[in-house]
Amino acid sequence: MLFPAKEWVGVACLLLSALSIQAEPLTRADALQTALEHNPEVATAHAAWKAEQARALQTWALAPPELELEYEGLPGAFDLGQYEQRTVGFSQRMPFPIKWWQRHQAANRLADAVRLSVYETTRLNIARDVQIAYDRVLTDQKV
């Protein structure tokens, strides 16, 4: 079941209070693990990080090869049956190896930045919200 981000803390409070009625108490670590595994914001941030890693992997790919057809000695513009010489060739452009490697390193650094700024930050924010909600429910039960 997916909930909007603003309702997640309220759902966590409801979940924690409902689970605390059972015979086996829910620990803070269990609540935190459950929230991080099932939160849609964490899943979205993880997908953004994996997409950036896939883009970094694509930097190793070469440009598509090019096909060249050359006709010499044509009597007319569209008369391809009468020619003196025909040349067919393939060409592949390759960047200088250092430039190729640096482009890949830059893409890897961008993927690391997305992991730290998006994925890890989202996980920390969700963990903070769940821990606050857990403490509030625990305090309410003790009061």
Average pLDDT of the segment spanning 18-43: 80
Percent of the chain predicted with pLDDT > 70:
75
Q: List the structure tokens of 125.
A: 């924010």
CB 103 within 8 A of CB 59: yes
Q: Answer whether residue 35 shows pLDDT above 80.
A: yes
Q: List the structure tokens of 133.
A: 């909600």
Strand partners, 69: 88
Q: Of 134, 141, 132, whose CA–CA distance to 26 is shortest? A: 134
Q: Answer whether residue 22 shows pLDDT above 90.
A: no
What is the phi/psi pair of residue 29, to 5°? -65, -40
Q: Answer whether residue 126 shows pLDDT above 90.
A: yes
What is the DSSP secondary structure assignment for residue 24, as one 8-state letter? S
- List pLDDT tens digits, range 99-115: 889 999 999 999 999 99
pLDDT reported for residue 117: 92
pLDDT reported for residue 60: 84
- Complete DSSP assignment for 40-100: HHHHHHHHHHHHHHHHHHHTTPPPPPEEEEEEES-SSSS-TTS-SEEEEEEE-----HHHH
Q: Answer whether residue 2 shows pLDDT above 50.
A: no
Residues 45 and 47: their CA atoms lie apart, in Å, by: 5
